[in-house]
């Protein structure tokens, strides 16, 4: 009698999701020819730094969610040359053959997209659809 295949479950950890997302965004930036660096630490507001050819820099805050509908962005602040990259795994975080969706949003546009839900500031997927795969502002 054949043994049933045991289903592997993935521990849902925000830390794991966040770390995976930072490296995935960094990988995409390198693939686009962007000179970028990851900042280290667990309590940071800037996840990546993009160095432009003219010597200036852009900061990037990566936010990610394993599910689909919204993402908490309570600590996002508008700043010049600062972007939010939202990574949505579409409930397929554990499947590396399924690429997540990427939304690249200038931080000064985030406030106009926010919804307050039970005391948390959130970006709803429907409000950021126009930012999907808009990598161009980071290609400096």
| String of DSSP letters for 83-130 | EEEEEE-TT-TT-TTSPPEEEEEEHHHHGGGEEEETTEEEEEHHHHGG
33: Cα within 13 Å, side-chain hemisphere: 5
**Coil, strand, or helix at residue 140?**
coil
The pLDDT of residue 8: 42
**Any idea what the Cα angle at residue 98 is, between residues 25 and 105, rounded to 5°?**
35
Q: Which residue bears the tokens 């990610």?
A: 64
Q: State mean pLDDT over 116-138.
A: 92
- Mean pLDDT on 113-122: 91
For residue 2, name the pLDDT band (cuts at 50, 70, 90): low
14 vs 137: CA distance, rounded Å: 27
Would you state the structure tokens that stand for residue 109, as one six-digit string? 């546009």
Q: What is the mean pLDDT of residues 23-48?
A: 89
What's the average model confidence in pLDDT over 66-72? 83
Q: Looking at residues 105-129, what average pLDDT do you find?
A: 92
Residue 51 structure tokens: 């160095």
82-88 vs 57-65, strand pairing mode: parallel
The yes-or-no verdict on residue 127 having pLDDT over 60 is yes
């Amino acid at each position: 009698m054949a043994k049933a295949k045991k289903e592997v479950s993935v521990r849902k950890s925000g830390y794991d999701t966040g770390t995976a997302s930072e490296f995935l965004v960094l990988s995409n930036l390198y693939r686009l020819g962007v000179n970028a660096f990851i900042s280290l630490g667990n309590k940071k507001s800037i996840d990546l730094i993009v160095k432009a050819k003219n010597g200036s820099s852009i900061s990037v805050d990566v936010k990610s969610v394993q599910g689909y509908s919204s993402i908490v962005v309570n600590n996002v602040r508008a700043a010049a040359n600062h972007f939010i990259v939202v990574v949505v795994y579409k409930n397929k975080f554990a499947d590396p053959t399924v690429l997540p969706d990427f939304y690249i949003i200038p931080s000064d546009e985030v406030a106009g997209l926010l919804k307050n839900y039970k005391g948390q500031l959130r970006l709803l997927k429907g409000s950021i659809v126009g930012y999907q795969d808009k990598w161009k502002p980071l290609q400096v």
